[in-house]
């Protein structure tokens, strides 16, 4: 893993030392000797992570971090504060202004590289989601704006001791609803079945390795992106480093400062909610790309791709496959007489009748204009004809209601059907056969179902 890291420190020796350690791991390193230089560098250059000293003249690290996190252009960059300050109140203050982590001077090499790699993995995921959302012109909200105070977070606490469970629950009560469990395997099942925002794993078990649970949470599909906060003993650096390598998001050492616990928990919860919203945005974008916005049916793009899959599957399994193409009769007259708004309403109601008539396994798509296609897997031509006839009757016998104009409109439709046979060589061939059958239905009087010749 490589990345561009900005090191900010007013002491040249510290700057050079961190630069050398990072270069040894093949990171690209930029340096800044004060807060303003750091802000200028971030404004002009892509930066993947910032190691930020706190005690600097002029603008200290807290102020720099706050500036970075309130600017949408730089809010996504992880910030690790590197400081000689070791009081919990200093860490809490840093977390509140948006810092992602802390390293205490003198910096432990193993912790440094583990923290950096862990945060870069998380940033890579967020960057990918942000890029897809931005490409789709969906607005990306500020990370620090997620997780409003009124949104109660759901936290799963896995802790082997009742007294520490009580203390942690009491500390988090103002910001989260905490479910506490003592059995790690039961907790794994609970986490996979319920929508938690954070899992806190306390390493105080007498006969169980807490990293086993962390590893299992990361390996399951449903908990892969669930934030994990590990509670470790003071000085147990090996466990902390291994935890970060396994994908644990953060850790806190005992004795726990309640304010730091709350601050670290909220940081993870906000980040999860931000990424969750990005995933939803990306999923919605994917759905929009294959969905007709007017009728809600799948569009021509989805039809072209999915028909190939169903065609090849039917060929391989030697199963029947049929296609129905339908076209609203004299649809141009609807638009010319009542306007395009009325035409759109007819299309929406027509699509609704297709949905109610098609079976669960059938795929209904808007082919274009007033034409629609229904792909029917495992369906013979006789069954397909019955489905088409039911739909034809549903269109003909039930008037289309134009509410805004206060009228009921009689509409009919024509149908063409084709079915897979030895003579059909490609999905396109099958579709052309149905289209020719539809053309025949139109020419022979409309409002009828015609099956293509086998």
- Please give the positions annotated as active site: 370
- Measure the CA–CA gap between 269 and 154, rounded to whole angstroms: 9
The encoded tokens of residue 372 equal 């629609």
Give CB contacts under 8 A, 24+ apart, made by 273-279: 273/146, 273/147, 273/151, 273/197, 274/126, 274/141, 274/143, 274/146, 275/125, 275/126, 275/129, 275/225, 277/141, 277/146, 278/126, 278/129, 278/130, 278/132, 278/133, 278/140, 279/129
C-alpha–C-alpha distance, residues 176 and 171, integer Å? 9
Burial letters 364-395, b for 16+ CB under 10 A, else e:
bbbbeebbbbbbbbebebeebbebbeebbebb
Q: Is it true that the peptide bond before 22 is cis, omega within 30 degrees of 0?
A: no
Pairing of strands 449-451, 413-419: parallel
Q: Is 89 exposed, middle or buried (0-12, 13-18, 19+ CB in 10 A)?
A: exposed
Count CA atoms closer than 13 A to 109's CA, side-chain side: 8
Q: How far apart are CA 368 and CA 443, in angstroms?
A: 20
CA distance 31 to 20: 11
Q: What are phi and psi of 72, to 5 degrees?
A: -60, -25
Residue 103 tokens, joined? 């390293």
> Which residues make Cβ contacts (< 8 Å) with residue 150, sequence separation at least 6?
none
CB 186, CB 160: distance < 8 Å: no
Q: Are 125 and 275 in contact (CB under 8 A)?
A: yes
Q: In sequence order, which residues have a C-beta less than 8 Å from that of residue 151 and are 6 or more positions away?
A: 273
Q: CA 101, CA 123: separation in Å to the nearest integer?
A: 13
What token pair was written down for 287?
Answer: 């759905």
Phi, psi of 285 (to 5 degrees): -65, -40
């Amino acid at each position: 893993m490589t990345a561009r890291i900005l090191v900010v420190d007013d002491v040249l020796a510290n700057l050079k030392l961190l630069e050398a350690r990072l270069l040894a791991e093949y990171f690209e390193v930029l340096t800044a000797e004060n807060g303003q230089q750091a802000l200028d560098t971030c404004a002009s250059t892509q930066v993947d992570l910032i190691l930020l000293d706190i005690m600097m003249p002029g603008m200290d690290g807290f102020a720099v971090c706050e500036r970075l996190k309130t600017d949408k252009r730089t809010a996504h960059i992880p910030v690790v504060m590197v400081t000689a300050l070791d009081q919990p109140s200093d860490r809490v203050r840093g977390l509140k202004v948006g810092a992602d982590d802390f390293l205490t001077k003198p910096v432990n090499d193993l912790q440094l590289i583990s923290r950096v790699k862990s945060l870069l993995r998380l940033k890579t995921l967020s960057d990918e989601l942000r890029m897809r959302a931005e490409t789709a012109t969906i607005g990306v909200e500020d990370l620090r704006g997620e997780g409003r105070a009124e949104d109660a977070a759901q936290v799963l606490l896995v802790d082997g001791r009742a007294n520490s469970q009580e203390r942690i629950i009491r500390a988090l009560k103002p910001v989260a609803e905490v479910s506490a469990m003592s059995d790690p395997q039961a907790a794994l099942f609970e986490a996979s079945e319920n929508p938690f925002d954070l899992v806190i794993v306390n390493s105080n078990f007498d006969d169980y390795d807490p990293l086993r649970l962390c590893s299992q949470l990361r390996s399951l599909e449903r908990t892969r992106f669930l934030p994990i906060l590990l509670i470790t003993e003071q000085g147990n650096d090996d466990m902390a480093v291994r935890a970060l390598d396994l994908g644990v998001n953060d850790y806190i050492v005992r004795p726990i400062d309640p304010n730091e616990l709350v601050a670290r928990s909220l940081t993870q919860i906000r980040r999860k909610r931000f990424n969750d919203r990005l995933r939803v945005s990306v999923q919605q974008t994917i759905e929009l790309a294959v969905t007709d916005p007017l009728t809600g049916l799948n569009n021509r793009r989805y039809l072209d791709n999915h028909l190939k899959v169903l065609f090849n599957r039917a060929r391989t399994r030697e199963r029947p496959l049929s296609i129905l193409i339908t076209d609203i009769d004299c649809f141009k007259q609807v638009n010319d007489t009542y306007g395009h708004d009325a035409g759109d309403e007819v299309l929406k109601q027509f699509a609704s009748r297709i949905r109610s008539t098609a079976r669960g396994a059938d795929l209904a798509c808007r082919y274009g204009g007033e034409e629609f296609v229904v792909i029917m897997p495992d369906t013979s031509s006789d069954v397909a004809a019955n489905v088409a006839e039911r739909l034809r009757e549903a269109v003909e016998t039930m008037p289309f209601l134009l509410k805004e104009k206060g009228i009921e409109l009689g509409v009919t439709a024509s149908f063409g059907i084709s079915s897979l046979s030895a003579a059909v060589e490609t999905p396109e061939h099958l579709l052309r056969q149905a289209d020719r059958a539809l053309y025949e239905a139109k020419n022979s009087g409309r409002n009828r179902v015609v099956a293509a010749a086998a």
